[in-house]
Structure 1
Amino acid sequence: MRARFSIVFAHGIGCEVVFSVPALEEVEKNISSLRLLISGDGEIEPNQEQVLQITLEICKEDVISLFVQNLPSLGWGVRKDLVHCWCILLRQKVDETYCCVQYIENHLELLDFLVGCYKNLDIALNCGNMLRECIKYPTLTKYILESGSFELFFEYVELPNFDIASDALNTFKDLLTKHETVVAEFLSSHYEQFFELYSRLLSSANYVTRRQAMKFLSEFLLEAPNSQIMKRYIVEVRFLNIMINLLKDSSKNIRLCAFHVFKVFVANPNKPRCIIEALLDKRRELLKLLHNLPTSKGDDELDEEKDLIIQEIQKLA
């Protein structure tokens, strides 16, 4: 296997190669052949023993690194084939070990490289697909969360290119939802840093960013595995004030998502005095906002929740 790829990735380790036309043609042919070998052609299934042997050789000969680091030099079609191969290779288990995942664990700089590729318009979506495949494995997720690269996602979700920003948001969500234990440990030790950055998204001037960030937060905090994070979040006045501001947003969808987080601040039976005082200070404004909260016809559950929160605010003292 190394012999087949050494021709086209002759100087690939640690640098980007500018391929000549013949070399690019050789790359396309080799990657296309690899895809056929490990995924079949739709009629003939791949030979699983051969797939495992190829996987082992690819790891042994550092071809995984060559794939990643030379991705920017490849054309659209071959990048698509390479991403397809990447996803298949990472899922191969040899002797109870995902050898490609293990290879990446020993070459974690590849993950930093893939995250950084969101800045490259040509390959951002390819790298997003490759990253999301990596995020299926807890050790790789843990590394990305705890690396300096993770903070880049707070920039990427606001990129002017809508497709790339949306893809980055999907990767960001996967990082925070695929592995409950890993995420809980990360947020426990990086709580202040994470929510400071996240609050900026909720206050973004970009409507799409603001809406997506509010929607995800309302889903994330209310998930049972995140109950401890939620309990910590809803005793802080600074976050209550963010929700109150979002209840005033011009977007109906943002106001509704904000309500689902705001209601937890109010319904908390163990509200600290600082939260009670903040609610009392803005009681008249809040009651007006809640009475004017848009609801859909027949949404009885939301109407009931709204009425309960109004009653809770009215009886505060």
Structure 2
Amino acid sequence: MSFFFRAASRPRSSQQDLVRSIKDSLLALDTKTGAKALEDVEKNIFTLRQTLSGDGEVEPNQDHVLQIALEICKEGVLSLFVQNLPSLGWEGRKDLAHCWCILLRQKVDESHCCVQYIENHVDLLDFLVVCYKNLEVALNCGNMLRECIKYPSLAKYILESNSFELFFQYVELPNFDIASDALNTFKDLLTRHEDAVSEFLISHYEQFFELYKRLLTSDNYVTRRQSVKFLSEFLLEAPNAQIMKRYILEVRYLNIMMGLLKDSSKNIRICSFHIFKVFVANPNKPRDIIQVLVDNHKELLKLLHALPASKGEDEQLDEERDLIIKEIEKLVLLSV
């Protein structure tokens, strides 16, 4: 009997030992310097990665994985992971981000223990967002943040935090890879959880779209293209109908779309058309929207006739363009 008890206890003890070793080595980075301290941390994190995801030959033991997740939360190791991420080398950061994603998915009685830990230590989310400014760790942090955003409570916190506004800066960073990664995280924040996003945009409408206007009018071509493309997809999705109805009542946003219809980029002109057409097709257009369309009808009709069609969408785009042209011409006749 005692033999079986010891045999059953050993795996649990080994998982505790691994977590304790990881914690001690991370804490040692604060008091020690040199390659040895860093080597110990990266060796432990590599061992953790193999334990969590297997080594290619042996599959991970799910009971061990779950026990590690529980121990890591109990010992506060998630906080140490985030705090020490910038100190690690390339491979160490990659292994840590990989482990982070696996750990967040572990559930105990239908509850994600690591997600709960982060809910109680939301400063970790702020730290990860700010780390986009660090070229060395930005992509690792982006990967870790997108894993966090899968969970409504964590996504909601980021949306409503002061850190969220930083994404409007990050998507214009000169480093293309980091800017693109930040945009992917930004998109996840605005598309993953419909109810939370709708609630956020309703309560932060003015602030959000004022910031977004800067992206649409950016001097950076990639920023303009990506931001107008995302907006054209986002506003036309059913869950965002209320936001879209409010957006198309405002002359300032109509003027932006009219400006983008003149852009030298074919793709930007097409994406902006898909937003512009909603302003025009709205059966309840405010008087000031109608006035702007009438005052600029000659230039608008010229731009619409010259609008290029996307491959595979030629027929539909042509039909929509013709309808919008007719609607503008109708408005002009009614104004005479």
Normalised to the residue count of structure 2, the TM-score between the two structures is 0.91
Structure 1 segment 217-232 matched on structure 2, within 5 A:
217-232=231-246
Q: Shift of residue 7 of structure 1? A: 2.9
> Is 1:164 aligned to 2:178, yes or no?
yes
Q: Which residue pairs with 1:4 in the alignment?
A: 21
Q: SS of the residue aligned with 2:27?
A: coil
Q: Which residue pairs with 2:329 in the alignment?
A: 314
Q: Shift of residue 199 of structure 1? A: 0.3
Hey, which of these two has a bigger chunk of helix by percent? 2
Question: Do the aligned partners of 2:79 and 2:124 also contact (CA within 8 Å) in 1?
Answer: yes
Question: Do the aligned partners of 1:215 and 1:254 also contact (CA within 8 Å) in 2?
Answer: yes
Q: Residues 180-232 of structure 1, C-alpha deviation per residue, up to 9 Å, x if partnerless?
A: 00000000000000000000100000000011000000000001111110000
Q: Residues 100-131 of structure 1, C-alpha deviation per residue, up to 9 Å, x if partnerless?
A: 00000000000000000000000000000000
Letter aligned with residue 207 of structure 1:
Y
Q: Which residue pairs with 1:205 in the alignment?
A: 219
Q: SS of the residue aligned with 1:205?
A: coil
Letter aligned with residue 4 of structure 1:
S
Q: Shift of residue 43 of structure 1? A: 2.2
Of residues 303, 309, 316 in structure 2, which corresponds to 1:289?
Answer: 303
Letter aligned with residue 9 of structure 1:
L
Q: SS of the residue aligned with 2:218?
A: coil
Structure 1: gaps (5+ residues): none
> Is 1:251 aligned to 2:265, yes or no?
yes
1:18 and 1:205, CA in 2 relative to 1: closer, same or farther beyond 3 A? farther
Q: SS of the residue aligned with 1:107?
A: coil
**Higher mean C-alpha displacement, 226-235 vs 297-306:** 297-306
Q: Percent identity?
A: 75
Structure 1 segment 40-51 matched on structure 2, within 5 A:
40-51=54-65
Q: SS of the residue aligned with 2:307?
A: coil
Q: Residues 118-162 of structure 1, C-alpha deviation per residue, up to 9 Å, x if partnerless?
A: 000000000000000000000000000000000000000000000
> Is 1:300 aligned to 2:303, yes or no?
no
Q: Which residue pairs with 2:99 in the alignment?
A: 85
Partners of 1:42 and 1:297 lie apart in 2 by 43
Q: Which residue pairs with 1:195 in the alignment?
A: 209
Letter aligned with residue 82 of structure 2:
V
Q: Which has the larger radius of gyration?
A: 2
Structure 2: gaps (5+ residues): 1-15
Letter aligned with residue 47 of structure 2:
S
Q: SS of the residue aligned with 1:271?
A: coil
CA RMSD across the alignment:
1.3
Partners of 1:251 and 1:195 lie apart in 2 by 23
Q: Which residue pairs with 1:62 in the alignment?
A: 76
1:111 and 1:18, CA in 2 relative to 1: closer, same or farther beyond 3 A? farther
